Amino acid sequence: MSIGYLAILVCGLVCMGLLDVRFRLVLAASGRGARAALVLAIGLAFFLAWDLAGIALGIFHRAENTVSTGVLLAPELPLEELVFLGFLCYLTLVLYTGALRVVARRTARGAPGAPAAHAASAGSRREARP
């Protein structure tokens, strides 16, 4: 019985939270925290139901190891799985929101590689040289 894996997952969650607070991406975004928490809860519930269905069908099994706590929330469902699913959902929201912000800033600055509406029409106005 060890808390190694759980400790790594919790550290990952803390780091994700620090990124969220620093850049105000998901839960720390003003006015969107409740909506983000709801999305996180829905994602966690979906993946937990997915895991429980896999366990009921005999697809998922828990293997004995030396890095897990050994705490089971249900047969074949360790505590670490719930924390991992929360981390996975939170990571996805942080990455998605961060990517949207990067794209929006590039578009606003007119950075190279940013989609521009006039780029296609600029090529059609070329005049042939004699």
The pLDDT of residue 63: 84
For residues 30-36, average pLDDT: 89
The pLDDT of residue 79: 95
Least confident of 9-18, 36-45, 59-68, 71-80: 59-68
pLDDT at 68 over 60: yes
The pLDDT of residue 121: 46
Q: Say whether pTM exceeds 0.75.
A: yes
The pLDDT of residue 32: 87
The pLDDT of residue 113: 60
The pLDDT of residue 51: 96
Q: What is the torsional sign of CA 102, 107, 108, 112?
A: positive
Per-residue pLDDT reduced to its tens digit, 70-103:
899 999 999 999 999 999 999 999 999 999 999 9
